[in-house]
Amino acid sequence: MKVSLITLFLFMSIGICTAQHKDIPLYKNENAGLDLRIRDIISRMTLQQKISQLRYDAPAIKNDSLDIPAYNWWNECLHGVARSGEATVYPQAIGLAATFDTGLIHRIATQISDEARAKYNYYTANGRYGHRYEGLTFWSPNINIFRDPRWGRGQETYGEDPFLTGSLAVSFIKGLQGDDPRYLKTIATSKHFAVHSGPESSRHQIDVTPSDRDLWETYLPAFIMTVEQAKVQSVMCAYNSFRGMPCCGNNILLKDILYKKLKFKGYVVSDCWAISDFYNKNFHNIVKTPQEAAAIALKSGTDLNCGVAYRYLQKAIDAGYVTREDIDSALYKVLKARFMLGMFDNSENVPYSKIPYSTVCSAKHNRTALEAAQKSIVLLKNENNLLPLNKNIKSLAVIGPGIKDYDLYLGNYHGYPRKRTNLLQALQKKLPGTKIHAAFGTYLCDGLPPVDYIPPQYLLSGEKNIPGGLKAEYFSNDSCYGAPAFIRTDSTVDFTWYSASPLNHSPLDTFSVRWSGKILAPVTGMYKIVVTGRDKYTLHLGDSVIVFDNGWDYNQQLDFYMQKGKTYNLKIEYAAHSPRGQMHLMWYVPGDNLTRKAVEAAQKSDVTILFLGLSTLLEEEQMQLQTEGFYRGDRTLLRLPKPQINLIKKIYATGKPVVLVLTGGSAISINWANKHIPAILDVWYPGQAGAEAVAGVIFGDYNPAGRLPVTFYKSVNDLPPFDNYSMENRTYRYFKGNPLYCFGYGLSYTSFKYDSLNLSLANDTLNVRFTLENNGKYDGDEVAQVYVKLPRSANYTPAIKELKGFTRVHLKTGESKIVTIKLPLKNLRHWDSSSETYILSKGKYKIMAGASSNDIRLEKDIQL
């Protein structure tokens, strides 16, 4: 009866169809209202079909009345389209935050969405539907607050400050979703709602219980900004529990806050397999069955399931846990998203369907990636103006385990650039007349030695074991079966087939490769063989075997003893199942005294560049690594690994000038280096143009102006326990100690003067105006920051200070500008627990303008 009423309502609403539309289902009629089209498509579906569309891997539905293509909702674009072959790779999110540049972030997101649409257009034109990482719904950005530097996923965020995070996220989301009045360009997802930031090892069972004040003043503001200002269309709930209930089944977070208070109009998607944690005995374990878990999540407001729990919704209905109306409510929101993306309309009428594949990795996007990398670099120290170095330098030492690494710059959740450059190559290109002495110097950490591609002289093939590479047989199937399409010799195994397969010019081909031959050992000892591949491969070396078949790109290592001068049989069989093929074979040769070679390189050089820090081999999402300072993706210590600290001291002892370049996604306690090393740069994970940007900053092509989006503490002992979600003594807003480097900190090759602070109030906005002058010797950018200290009251103790405005200004040497930063009064409110709302207190507000949270140049009080 209910179905017939819906049908009657549809006919009454639209009247008799016109002749030109009488054979077109209403849901395909682009002239009909969106609500009518959604209700029509739902009315045509069976219950099982409806349930199938609430999964991330929604199957196709094709019959006489329905034509719904398969669709996979899972896609990523944290700092470029990820895991979908070639794409422009911009700096990791924490590096983007260091730019303090909302305009740049919007431009980057616009380019990302261009590439996303170009890829989607290409895939669908080739009949590909339902594949992961090929859709238009992106699970980015990550706007959780980076409250603790130990969190391995903090690199994915915009740092520790709610206002900075929200401001950058709003710009990013607007760039992703586009500005067309009818169609969404892509869909962005604010994640992970709402109190989520480690530890990684306990994320599936931890229960977090922040105070109301911390919830509404720290953990929620960025989400509020993205819902209200950016109109984000998707929100992802988190793995952990909040106040006793898993976030993806939490009525307080989803029903009360997201839908009722914030009036969110989009859909909620679960983090992957988060709902399964509800009944997993090792995790939340709040129910016994998947149908109970699915019911809790659905009824609380989780519309789309990344995982398998919603396959049990029929059982949940049969048991009376949920109703058909619950299914229809979630399905309405999910289908609305697909309609707004234009998936049921003629592609000719969707403006974004015309974006060509040539947009991907275009010259324009490459230039923006370089600009972003340059703007993200933070100059931490520059004693006696050692930097920039003179390009006419005669000799230079370049030392570090990552100097030949191509992927170190990419961070996590990344795509693959069309061209790759490492730091050594970038410096060699920039300094053709300079003698460069290169050395690895040390391990990344204990157990992780530096690796390099196996040179062709140690790879033998053919009956006569001729040096020069391996025999390579390429097949037009996925199992190395039958006669190969062609055979050649590959001098080394270092391949990324993202723009095209090895068979022709299409990246969509299924293919496989067999490499065979021998490895010749140059020395005797225990070698570390490292293989990285995507999809599926098997490696045979002597009697040892590595098998890999989980679809991801992942490093696997094999310790293998070899004797000098002997050869060992080698065979690799690789199969590509997606347009993201890659295969790499590297090794670490034992017996090298890495530190001795590095010291010799420094002694022979005028200046040494030490390229050290962290990598995604150490900090990442839920890793297995457990070694000193690192535990399953997170950090247990804030200092560099001991091998790196020892190397710094050895190189410093040579007496030669040293420039320390740090990579990583979080704060590093470099206390000894800060006292002794004259020049230090933090470059984060700077993306595809990172090596070029670093070389350019060191040698003066670009004046650095990045600012720290996180506090650099002196020790982990300065922090509360990692699993404590109280903000007390965390971040610059509440930290009572002395940081190594403060939030907002960053030096320049030039200097800036602040003058004439003026405050005025108009239209519920406080205008903060001052003069900014470049009084140094270089053109450059200054990131002017405005902080506010709210008034104290009997019921409220304010934070030490809070960022409420910022702008990045370029000034030529000697140039001055009047800078105005607008502070809407609503941004000066605080949470009042008694009234359960934000209020603007009466009293004296301290307004501070300066170059960082600890470098306040001007301040003035105002009574509000």
Three-state SS sequence of 24-77: CCHHHCCCCCHHHHHHHHHHCCCHHHHHHCCECEECCEECCCCEECCEECCCCC
**Cβ-contact 772, 754 below 8 angstroms:** yes
- What's the Cα-to-Cα distance from 43 to each of 30, 49, 61, 640, 766, rounded to whole Å? 18, 11, 14, 60, 52
3-state secondary structure of 362: coil
Residue showing tokens 């360009």: 185
> What distance in Å separates the CA atoms of residue 2 and residue 453, rounded to the nearest whole number?
66
At how many degrees (to 10) do helices 162-177 and 221-228 cross? 30
Strands 234-237 and 267-270: parallel
| Torsion angle, alpha carbons of 688, 409, 749, 770, to 10 | 80
| Torsion angle, alpha carbons of 843, 848, 852, 855, to 10 | -110
The total of other beta-carbon atoms located within 10 Å of residue 639's CB is: 18
Catalytic residue, chosen from 271, 277, 371, 490, is 271
- According to DSSP, the residues that pair with 768 across neighbouring strands are 759, 821
Query: Which helix (DSSP H) or strand (DSSP E) does residue 300 occupy?
Result: helix 290-300
- C-alpha dihedral sign at 82, 86, 89, 92: positive
Q: What string of DSSP letters covers 585-604?
A: EEEE-TT--HHHHHHHHHHT
Catalytic residue, chosen from 200, 303, 619, 802, is 619
Q: Who contacts 700 (Cβ-Cβ below 8 Å, separation ≥6)?
A: 387, 388, 389, 391, 749
Whether 619 is catalytic is yes
Which backbone phi and psi does 518 adopt, to 5 degrees? -135, 155
DSSP letter, residue 622: S
Nearest to 802 by CA among 157, 161, 98, 167: 161
Q: Counting Cβ atoms within 10 Å, is residue 149 exposed (0-12), middle (13-18) or buried (19+)?
A: buried
Q: Please state whether 244 falls in left (phi above 0), alpha (psi between -120 and 50) or beta.
A: left
Whether 57 is catalytic is no
> What distance in Å separates the CA atoms of residue 767 and residue 787, rounded to the nearest whole number?
13
Q: Please state whether 159 falls in left (phi above 0), alpha (psi between -120 and 50) or beta.
A: left
Active site residues: 271, 619
